[in-house]
A and B are shown apart, each in its own frame.
Chain A
């Protein structure tokens, strides 16, 4: 790869902006800037255009410019002394960096949580109760004749979901593409995604659970409250029609978003949907899938699970992993003034957490790794500038359907990767804690 001013093209590059993780980008690079991103959607184009190498300090310690090494020392000192540190974020970095982050949490007896806890965490909890019938996206492309989206707006949040994976592509058993599929959108408002739908079902806000539970009953031939339309805004005839379509399709799928998981009912909503998907397998083949947002939030779930047994909200204070969402989730720990230091990796709680949690982050020594200045880097005691994953670094990310993909960096960054910074912090903590030779950490 050349770093000269001459332009070159990186084929088969991956866009890590959203959970679709499309790996068919052709990136034209000129003078350390991506000038063209062939195949990228509108979000992807912005992602690639905005990530250039800016002239920023390698690190800031209490707002003053510092070297990466100085910041590593400061971060390690904070973490080695902390009694109840929080490690949080991880959804926009590589699995290689995530593995280092869990290792640090294990080493110092920290609490680790990912952005999953504020997006599809309730889905993860529902999954633990019910399980899930699911698939990789290619099965939808090749087989699905009924595609339902519930509580999400992929036309704006995952623009290529329709065109690359789920709706318009031709597949092995879907020879005519869009013509061979029926698309149903269920949401509380008519979003731009409705334009792509054959059937749009508008649910009164806060009644998704009631609609899902009525569908479960109808699937099994059970009775449903005759006032269901009054309660949910959806007529019995509409529900019955949807049930017939679901039971009689060849391969049905429901993609669902945070309209279910972050509204009243949360994991009950997600659980009702997972259970509906399971029930339908008595009649035909049926699968469901949460439409994950960040580029590697799914990798975070996977890494934290394989290293600890739990997907999020993991606490190592006793020297082994314990899981308790509501107690060990980042928002709860911060808003309850519990954590005494924080290591935030590739996420921006300073912009989107409740005020009480942000206030606490400001009070305690907070360490942040991010390629860009953010509200979180603004409040941090130690802020590292790191290379952007997928644009400047290689590594692994997991698509929303758990398919792992290797990144192809477009151009080099002068800044270190998240993995390099975390590894350096870990090694320094090991020295500070005087760990013996032969330790795996």
Chain B
């Protein structure tokens, strides 16, 4: 295909540019969307079809140490879901943890073109980058786990706030990460000490005399001070435990007024007696978020069927393991983090699983502002990303949703608003918001999630269909960087996506502070720790933003 072309007659859904189903041309040149191309440029007629920016998944587990452990752990997950090679694409295997190539192809077959890997310890930065380089088509980056980093704990304990911020900036440069990730702050250190847990935000983190609240405040503050395009991305404490919505509210209030992202919030929206039978707290959580424009979230919807629990929240994985005592992986990562992996099945007849499913739907349906409640399943924790088309149908099709609501555990549904037949049906424009425009905006990716001039020419063309699951499962065309990649489910071209990362400025003097800690407590040399350019291949540094930009963000 020529480097410039024009897509004509499509109905365009481009929420960032306020285009809601208008028929207009999309012009592409050299991989970018442009105002216009010469009249004789090739035309692609998509008469009657729906044109959207490529999908953006802001929270998924697709690469790196724990994902690879999950692949290795579950041959049964791959065996009946193979992905054959074609003359131009590599083979692979699927299941809840697909191989790298299958991950790239299957996301793009759904019209997704950008995906963020959500949790990597910096010590494994090379590993995740090597895997992302073997993940075709997609643009991708990763979030760096910083909430159990013992060097940062030490600086925090000693009140060295400026050095704390410099160390965070250094770590981003060393690891080529995109955003700071917090996971059950403090859990790793206590877990490694005889499997204890932190429960309250003011609990003492063993040996450090600091609390999860201090870690949250410090990292949210550092991300905003450094002007990172995406703020601190928080997996709150007490995931999955009845009564945990208070922890979630407490976390959000702790950093009230500052921009922050709360991830897979469904898993953190449970009422009920502490540790007992969970109830829905979707209303409490939605009310808070609706009233606080500085807070954004993704849902972490549960979908019935196979899933894999994989998380840096190692004590959570242990808790899940103890439910059925199936196979379990734990991996402690020195001075930084750890992870757990547990195969899991969500059963519609199970009270808790059905309730989790219901709470996710409530959170979608109660969100006043779709820009701040993004679609995710926390792949593969709530289920594979392959469930997205079905999830979209649940949101767009009230009759379908009601049928489903009536077919799952009714005791659970009684604890939600879903039996009241919530009327809301997401529009195509709202779906475009929660699957591409919203996450792109929250990630601070100005060239993603829209079809205005200057955007990357990542474009998905769908065939309008009453059955929204079918519609979103089978795009007619997928373009990446202005190249036609998929037509009617067939790969026309392969493509290498790029690595996206940030490189905030830091004072090199911080290395003098960090080096002795590495010499004492790490088993790899300080000078061998930072990741070299050879792991980047195609890449793009996303610039930091100034205070004004952050302020504007808080008034979405």
Contact = CB atoms under 8 A, between A and B. Distances in A.
Nearest to A324: B75
A311 B72 contact: yes
A135 B332 contact: yes
Contact of B75 (A131, A170, A323): A323
Interface in B307-345: 318, 327-335, 338, 341
A396 interface: yes
A137 B134 contact: no
A436 interface: yes
> Which of A12, A129, A136 counts the most B-chain CB atoms under 10 A from its CB?
A136
B334 A139 contact: yes
Contact of B191 (A285, A319, A394, A435): A285
28 contacts: A12-B528, A106-B85, A130-B327, A131-B329, A134-B332, A138-B335, A141-B334, A142-B334, A165-B523, A172-B521, A251-B192, A302-B127, A305-B71, A307-B100, A307-B101, A319-B84, A319-B85, A320-B92, A396-B130, A398-B127, A402-B124, A402-B331, A403-B523, A403-B524, A404-B124, A404-B126, A440-B90, A440-B101
Nearest to A284: B194
B523 A319 contact: no
Interface string B519-546: 0111111011001101000000000000
Interface in A17-48: 23-24
A306 B69 CA distance: 9
Interface string B399-421: 00000000000000000000000
Interface in A291-318: 301-303, 305-311, 316, 318
A312 to B, nearest CB: 10
B150 to A, nearest CB: 7
Contacts, number: 212
B134 A128 contact: no
B129 to A, nearest CB: 9
B193 to A, nearest CB: 7
> Which of A171, A285, A303, A309 counts the most B-chain CB atoms under 10 A from its CB?
A309
Contacts of B332: 134-136, 139, 287
Given A95-B130, A138-B523, A143 B82 contact: no
B515 to A, nearest CB: 12
A51 interface: no
B521 A142 contact: yes
A133 B73 contact: no
A156 interface: no
B317 to A, nearest CB: 10
Contacts of B53: none
A19 B142 CA distance: 28
A428 interface: no
Nearest to A309: B93
A259 interface: no
B99 interface: yes
B93 A285 contact: no
The secondary structure that dominates the A interface is mixed
B429 interface: no
Contacts of A133: 328-331
A190 interface: no
Given A129-B327, A131-B328, 7 more contacts: A12-B528, A95-B130, A135-B333, A135-B338, A284-B195, A405-B528, A438-B494
Interface string B183-197: 000000001111100
Given A23-B528, A394-B534, A307 B92 contact: yes
B72 A135 contact: no
Interface of B: 63, 65, 67-68, 71-75, 77-79, 82-85, 87-93, 95, 97-102, 123-124, 126-127, 130-131, 134, 136, 150, 191-195, 207, 318, 327-335, 338, 341, 492-494, 520-525, 527-528, 531-532, 534
Contact of A321 (B99, B127, B328, B523): B99
A307 B192 contact: no
Contacts of B194: 250-251, 284-285
Interface string A137-160: 111011100000000000000000
A329 interface: no
A309 B130 contact: no
Nearest to B522: A138
A281 B331 contact: no
A125 to B, nearest CB: 9
Interface of A: 11-12, 14, 23-24, 95, 99, 103, 106-107, 124, 127-139, 141-143, 164-165, 170-173, 250-251, 278, 281, 284-285, 287, 301-303, 305-311, 316, 318-323, 394, 396, 398, 402-406, 408, 435-436, 438-441
Contact of B193 (A95, A171, A250, A396): A250
Nearest to B517: A172
A16 B199 CA distance: 43
A319 B527 CA distance: 43
A173 B333 CA distance: 15
Given A23-B525, A128-B75, A320-B82, A281 B330 contact: yes
A307 B330 contact: no
> Which of B88, B328, B523 counts the most A-chain CB atoms under 10 A from its CB?
B523
Given A136-B332, A440-B136, A307 B318 contact: no
Contacts of B130: 95, 99, 303, 306, 396, 404
A137 B432 CA distance: 46
A134 B332 CA distance: 6
A11 B527 contact: yes
A134 B338 CA distance: 10
B528 A435 contact: no
A19 B410 CA distance: 54
A309 B91 CA distance: 10
A323 B101 CA distance: 17
A307 B99 contact: yes
A23 B524 contact: yes
B84 A124 contact: no
Contacts of B77: 309
Contacts of B195: 281, 284-285
A54 B94 CA distance: 46
A164 to B, nearest CB: 7
Contacts of B83: 320
Given A285-B195, A404-B127, A308 B99 contact: yes
Nearest to B81: A309
Contact of A141 (B95, B150, B523): B523
A127 B72 contact: yes
A106 B90 contact: yes
B545 to A, nearest CB: 31
Contact of B71 (A137, A141, A309): A309
B310 to A, nearest CB: 12
A164 B522 CA distance: 11
> Which of B74, B90, B98 counts the most A-chain CB atoms under 10 A from its CB?
B90
Contacts of A14: 528
Nearest to A275: B327
Given A128-B73, A320-B83, A320-B92, A135 B334 contact: yes
B71 to A, nearest CB: 5
Contact of B134 (A99, A132, A320): A99
Contacts of A321: 78, 82, 91-93, 99
Contacts of B193: 250-251, 285
Contacts of B136: 440
B511 to A, nearest CB: 14
Contacts of B534: 394, 406
A106 B83 CA distance: 12
Contacts of B88: 435-436, 438-440
Contacts of B191: 285
A136 B334 contact: yes
A417 to B, nearest CB: 13
